[in-house]
Amino acid sequence: MESIFPLEQLIGFSGNIYQITVAASRRAYQMSKINDPEVEKNYGKAVSIAARQLFCNKVSYRIEDNTK
């Protein structure tokens, strides 16, 4: 059975936790705005789905450098 939030991946994550948190929240927002059927199928757990997508590399993110 798959957990609601990917805790195992979060514990083992060696990257910047702030960046992955921002990426997951933005992805969840995207999924909510487009009424993604996967969110509805999983009882509206957009943040959990977004985090799982990021940790499983189904979606990727990049940090923009706005200092230029």
Summarize pLDDT for 23-59 with one digit per residue, the tens: 999 999 999 999 888 888 877 788 888 988 998 889 8
pLDDT at residue 1 greater than cutoff 50: no
pLDDT tens digits for 4-30?
A: 667 777 777 888 888 888 899 999 999
In 3D, which of 12, 3, 1 has the Cα closest to residue 55? 12
CA distance 3 to 30: 22
